[in-house]
DNA sequence: CTTAAAAATTGATGTAGATCAATTCATAGC
DNA sequence: GCTATGAATTGATCTACATCAATTTTTAAG
């Protein structure tokens, strides 16, 4: 069941079988239906989520109250509300399932405790967020070269397995354009 | 001399005097003149840099060969080429001084070694990059609400100490607009 | 202080993509 | 299968910002 997850961990850190078991033991398994919310503003406990199956969207609200998609997460992705780590809440996060999904969750306080006992996990999550940082920075770069056709093509390349699974208006939101513009843009690609 | 840096570390981790000394001992001190480059493509060794004094710009190149500013770093900021950590180089980074600057550097391989000996440092840099991630994500949010006047005002709020130190064409580049547009936009603010 | 080079401003014009409105297409519930 | 609701497309128009070109202002060097 969790073979994929352990393989995923083993790319960055080497764990003993006991450590693997310890990690698995602090995870909680959930199934969420399409359209349900994993994270929403005002939630008391911060968690890390690991997607086993299905697809999630992370939305952020800006000051104008607009939702913006900042990330799609599918199988084998981690997603979390990093602001919660610092008890700082300028922006507000929603995480919504757009497909029925299976997810593992990990309470931040339990995770912090694990970091102290087994620093290898601190290493794992440091590497993970560093990669996320790089990916996010590349998104800023591509948004600065503000040609939306190129950005759409990059999106398709980057998420080939999302074709047909994610609504076009979600993709448009992610790209920062309107659904109408995306529609015209796609038309122009044939 | 390094009081500020130690204070900075102590916000996130508690170090013994010996650990503090060990950390300071692996740092190298440099002074760079205005317009010199700390990091440029093709550089063999990856480093972390800590700005003691002055101001640095991190530029990235996109596929079209255009430089885009993705970050300004002043006193007490860390800056580094995270892609180098993974030996992956899709994007190319320049870090340039726009003022005469004093900088401490830390070799990545030495740092990795330190992580194993004293995991607290892994913790420190995990927290640091998590904060950087949050800041970057907020930039994406503000770039999605693509009203450049608002974005400029946010920039001014976020970097109040850069007023007059950074050229307007650098700010325009950072915001993803032309210097002409920034000029008109600023005019409209009076 | 003078001069050259770089930065900032201003003006005129063009364009990508927004907005608003209407229509067609797809999906889900009965 | 039919109907209702949400998604996607298409068209017409508008606007923020880009681009190109010229001018003024600032900065740095001799």
Protein-to-nucleotide distance from the CA of A103 to the C1' of C27, whole angstroms: 27
The confidence score (pLDDT) of residue A92 equals: 79
Task: Give yes or no for a contact between A84 and B165, defined as CB atoms under 8 angstroms apart.
Answer: no
In sequence order, the 6+-apart residues with CB closer than 8 A to the CB of B186 are B152, B168
Question: CA B169, CA B176: separation in Å to the nearest integer?
Answer: 10
**With 0-12 CB in 10 A as exposed, 13-18 as middle and 19+ as buried, what is B64?**
exposed
The confidence score (pLDDT) of residue B153 equals: 92
Question: Which stretches of chain A score pLDDT less than 70?
Answer: 85-91, 146
Question: CA A89, CA A41: separation in Å to the nearest integer?
Answer: 9
Most A CBs within 10 A among B64, B144, B173, hence the mutation to make, goes to B144
Q: Residue B123: which pLDDT band, with cuts at 50, 70 and 90?
A: very high
The confidence score (pLDDT) of residue A85 equals: 67
> Would you report the helix, strand and coil content of chain B in percent, each value rounded to 5?
45, 25, 30
Q: Are B141 and A62 in contact (CB < 8 Å)?
A: yes
In DSSP notation, A39-61 reads E-TT-SS-EEEEEEES-EEEEEE
Chain A residues near residue B91 by CB distance under 8 angstroms: 137-138, 141
Judge whether B123 is closer than 8 Å to chain A, CB to CB.
yes
Tokens for B177, please give them: 């607009």
For residue A76, the enclosing domain spans: 3-117
Strand order of the β-sheet with A78-80 is: A28-32, A101-107, A47-53, A78-80
Average pLDDT over residues B32-41: 86
Task: Give yes or no for a contact between B104 and B49, defined as CB atoms under 8 angstroms apart.
Answer: yes
Mean per-residue pLDDT over chain B, rounded: 88
Q: Residue B147: which pLDDT band, with cuts at 50, 70 and 90?
A: confident
Closest CA to A142 of B169, B66, B89, B52: B66
Instruction: Give the percent of chain B with pLDDT over 70.
Output: 95
The confidence score (pLDDT) of residue A27 equals: 96
Protein-to-nucleotide distance from the CA of B174 to the C1' of D22, whole angstroms: 26
pLDDT in tens, A96-116: 888 889 999 999 899 999 999
B170 within domain boundaries:
no
pLDDT in tens, B42-96: 777 888 999 998 888 888 887 777 888 888 998 899 998 877 766 655 568 889 8
B147 within domain boundaries:
no
Q: What is the ipTM of this complex?
A: 0.88
A189 within domain boundaries:
no
A157 within domain boundaries:
no
The confidence score (pLDDT) of residue B89 equals: 57
CA–chain centroid gap for A24, Å, is 20
A139 within domain boundaries:
no
Residue of chain A with shortest Cα separation from B67? A141
Chain B residues near residue A142 by CB distance under 8 angstroms: 62
Rounded (10°) CA dihedral B144, B146, B148, B149: -100
Helices (H) and strands (E) in chain B, counts: 7, 8
A150 within domain boundaries:
no
Q: What is the CATH number of the domain that holds A88?
A: 2.60.120.10
Question: CA A107, CA A80: separation in Å to the nearest integer?
Answer: 10
The confidence score (pLDDT) of residue A77 equals: 92
Total number of domains constituting chain A: 1
Q: Which nucleotide in the DNA or RNA is closest to residue A180, CA to C1'?
A: D9
B172 within domain boundaries:
no
A186 within domain boundaries:
no
Strand D interface, A 124-183, C-beta < 7 A = 167-169, 179-180, 182-183
Q: Are B144 and A176 in contact (CB < 8 Å)?
A: yes
């Amino acid at each position: 069941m969790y073979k994929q997850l352990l393989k995923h961990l083993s790319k960055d850190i080497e764990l003993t079988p006991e450590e693997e078991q310890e990690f698995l033991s602090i995870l909680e398994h959930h199934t969420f239906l399409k359209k349900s919310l994993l994270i929403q503003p005002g939630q008391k406990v911060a968690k890390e989520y690991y997607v086993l199956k299905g697809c999630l969207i992370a939305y952020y609200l800006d000051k104008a109250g607009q939702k913006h998609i900042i990330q799609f997460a599918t199988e084998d992705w981690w997603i979390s509300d990093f602001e919660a780590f610092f008890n700082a809440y300028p922006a507000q996060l929603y995480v919504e399932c757009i497909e029925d999904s299976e997810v593992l969750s990990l309470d931040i306080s339990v995770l912090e405790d694990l970091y102290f006992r087994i620093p290898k996990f601190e290493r794992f999550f440091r590497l993970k967020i560093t990669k996320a940082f790089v990916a996010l920075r590349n998104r800023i770069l591509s948004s600065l070269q503000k040609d939306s056709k190129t950005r759409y093509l990059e999106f398709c390349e980057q998420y080939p397995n999302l074709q047909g699974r994610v609504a076009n208006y979600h993709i448009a939101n992610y790209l920062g354009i309107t659904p109408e513009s995306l529609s015209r843009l796609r038309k122009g690609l044939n």
